[in-house]
Amino acid sequence: MPGRCNKRIRLRHEQMPFPVEDIRQKAGHRGVHLWDLCQGLPCQEGGRMRRPGSVRIGFEASTRLFVLLLVVFLLLVDVGLYYALSRLENVMVDEFDRRLLVSSVMVKERLEISSLRALLQGKGGEEPARLLRKSLRSAALRSRLLRATIIDKEYRVLLDSRIIEHPATVKLVEEDFPDLDPVWSGEDLFANVKSEGPLWTRYLFSPLSDGQKVYAVLAVGSDFSLHRRLLRMARSYMVVRILGMVSVVGVALFFVVSVLRPFRRLKETAEVIRHEADGEEDSEFIISTFQRVIEDLRKKEAELGRLYAEQKSKAESLEEYNRYILSSMSGGVISADSGGSLVTFNRAAGEMLAIETEGAVGRPYLKVLLHRTLTEMLKGALNSGRIRRDVEIEVARGNVQSTLRVSSSVLRGTRGEVLGAALLLTDITELKRLQENILLKEKLASLGEMSAGIAHQFKNSVGSIIGFANLLKKKGSSIQTIDKIVKESMMLNDVVESFLSFARPAEVNPSVVDLGALIEEILEPLHEEMRKKGIDRNVSFGVSSLNIVGDAVLLKQAFANLLRNGIDAMPDGGSLSIDSVQNGQMAVVKIRDTGRGIPKEKISQIFTPFFSLTQGGVGLGLPIAHKIITSHRGSIEIESEEGVGTTVTVHLPKEEGANG
């Protein structure tokens, strides 16, 4: 049918200009063809309605047309702007020339031709020159001219508004002004003249005549620099606009090529399967294809999101599990990446090194780890892959020295590349202390065996000395001398008794001992001595009754020696504090004094027999106390600082401890 739409007509209810029932009635009862009812209506083509026979412009052609129209529009705008700027330039120059012409007329009106003739002929003396110069200057000022000059044919300055003296001998450079022949013929001439500096002056050269003869040329000039700059800016702007237009054309061509190239590829792909597209047009088929692709991408995106969330959950669970492991480990773990930044720094490592773990991760290890051995081990592992094992270092945590065993390792990737390095730290302070105690026990045992015989002989000798001294006393010898012998012998006997007490194996007779009551019993006879020395006593027990199983006699001797050392360390007064608490299955007693303290380098020697820091001391009090406490499977720790005081901490197990 002529003029009939070739596409299938798909009418929707909302696109009908009249009810659908009317269409059915007209088509069914009157035999009217559906097309006749749709005359004047747009037919739907791929969801869009258009009139039959209308010209359809494709995407590619419409894009090119749009870019072409845009370029033409910008070109017309530039042409119009260029025309407007040209007109503005002409108007500005015409207006400037008009002002110069008016100024020239005003100057001529104030000049007298008769005086000028007299000046040229040399008549009248200086009076004509004075009058003309005054008139010229007055007219120039009144007209706001930059300069007003009268010159002759030889370009000599006859009069000048800027020269006060007679200017007859002043000659201008001929290149400063244009050819003035037309002016001498009676015509006006406009010209731009470059002045000193950046200034430009526009001059009007006008003849001075009496109507018959031209006697001189009047040159009036005004500053033209601002106008010239404006004109140059306008020309520069037009050049920029032209270059911008060229750039816009280039960008437009690039845009057309870059935008239409993928569209052509999509169109070629669509034409391959055109017959499978149910008669859809190119753009509709491309859109439907994109919709299917987007739908597939959304499904895949949702699947990827689900897999990502699942893997992220697993990774977070594994990371959290690793954090729990690291935070629960008793050993310290420190790791750094290849760049030297800390990646792992667990709680145990922070406690061992007395470093805050919070904020350590991510910082360079050289700024966090201040121990030289640790930084050298990490540096060696990162730079040269050198591994060191079981390196013992000493670190200070307050006044306490700790011993750490450190091993380093290199972290490598699947291809053998160095990813970082790690340190494993183990606190072996207690182990070292146990080893030292074992060594000390072995030394003391051998010393006891060796000295037992010596002490026995000393005791026999001392007994003989005492016996002979008593006999000498009965026979009337010097009483004072004999008393000294007896006194020295008794002191020697006490030393020997103390040495024997230290040397012989301790025999522990276990019983239930209340440490609080035991300490109060020891302090009772020392109260008067402490009062005289000005020593304050502070006793604090964490529990009402702190009972352990041990030998009361030996424990009393041990704590008496410890308290005696604390009192002797404060000859000028101070404070003696005794605290006792229960820590799990251990009873802990701390004795603090504010005495002179122990030098750091001598703390390791205080349990050695006969080593004493007190003048006149035997040096067996602390070794005996240490022996008694260790025989109860306990331990003694000494913390001291010179000038501050000493703290002795005794740990004793609550269960039955000693086996002799």
Shared domain for 52 and 67, answered yes or no, is no
CATH of the domain at 344: 3.30.450.20
Residue 290 inside a domain? The answer is no
Q: Please state the rounded mean pLDDT for residues 124-138.
A: 74
The pLDDT-based confidence of 74 (bands split at 50, 70, 90) is confident
Q: Please state the rounded mean pLDDT for residues 548-577.
A: 90
Residue 125 inside a domain? The answer is yes
pLDDT higher than threshold 60 for residue 398? yes
Shared domain for 70 and 172, answered yes or no, is yes
Q: Please state the rounded mean pLDDT for residues 269-294.
A: 61
- Closest to 224 in 3D by CA, of 136, 146, 140: 146
Strand order in the sheet with 214-223: 157-160, 147-151, 214-223, 200-209, 189-194
- CA–CA separation, 527 vs 563, rounded Å? 12
Helices (H), 329-364: 347-353
For 29-67, what is each residue's pLDDT tens digit? Answer: 444 443 443 444 444 444 444 444 444 556 667 777 777
Residue 619: count other Cβ atoms within 10 Å of its Cβ.
16
Binning the chain into helix, strand and coil, the percentages to the nearest 5 are 55, 20, 25
Shared domain for 441 and 542, answered yes or no, is no
Instruction: Find the helix or strand (DSSP H, E) in which 395 lies.
Output: strand 391-397
Instruction: Check residue 173 and give its pLDDT.
Output: 46
pTM: 0.36
Least confident of 419-433, 452-466, 528-542: 452-466
The pLDDT-based confidence of 651 (bands split at 50, 70, 90) is very high
Instruction: Check residue 72 and give its pLDDT.
Output: 83
Shared domain for 407 and 541, answered yes or no, is no
pLDDT higher than threshold 50 for residue 6? no
Q: How many domains does the chain have?
A: 5
Instruction: Check residue 394 and give its pLDDT.
Output: 87
Considering the chain, what percentage of its residues have pLDDT values greater than 70? 70
Residue 278 inside a domain? The answer is no
The pLDDT-based confidence of 162 (bands split at 50, 70, 90) is confident
Please state whether 390 falls in left (phi above 0), alpha (psi between -120 and 50) or beta: left
The pLDDT-based confidence of 585 (bands split at 50, 70, 90) is confident
Quote the tokens at residue 207.
């003849």
Instruction: Check residue 98 and give its pLDDT.
Output: 86
For 468-502, what is each residue's pLDDT tens digit? Answer: 677 666 665 566 666 666 766 776 676 667 666 66
Considering the chain, what percentage of its residues have pLDDT values greater than 90? 8
Shared domain for 410 and 465, answered yes or no, is no
Q: 485 is in which domain, residue-wise?
A: 433-503
Shared domain for 412 and 458, answered yes or no, is no
Residue 304 inside a domain? The answer is no
- CA–CA separation, 560 vs 591, rounded Å? 11
Shared domain for 178 and 135, answered yes or no, is yes
Which segments of 428-568 are extended strands (E)?
511-514, 535-541, 547-550
- CA–CA separation, 14 vs 271, rounded Å? 32
- Closest to 592 in 3D by CA, of 518, 635, 631, 540: 540
Shared domain for 127 and 198, answered yes or no, is yes
For 594-611, what is each residue's pLDDT tens digit? Answer: 998 888 888 877 877 767
Last residue of a domain, one of 503, 529, 545: 503
Shared domain for 76 and 223, answered yes or no, is yes
Residue 285 inside a domain? The answer is no
CA distance between the termini of the chain: 127
pLDDT higher than threshold 90 for residue 593? yes
Shared domain for 534 and 585, answered yes or no, is yes
Shared domain for 560 and 496, answered yes or no, is no
- Closest to 569 in 3D by CA, of 626, 539, 613: 613
Residue 311 inside a domain? The answer is no
CATH of the domain at 638: 3.30.565.10
| Residues counted in the chain | 660
Residue 537 inside a domain? The answer is yes
Residue 313 inside a domain? The answer is no
Shared domain for 189 and 63, answered yes or no, is yes
The pLDDT-based confidence of 229 (bands split at 50, 70, 90) is confident
Last residue of a domain, one of 404, 427, 450: 427
Last residue of a domain, one of 237, 272, 307: 272
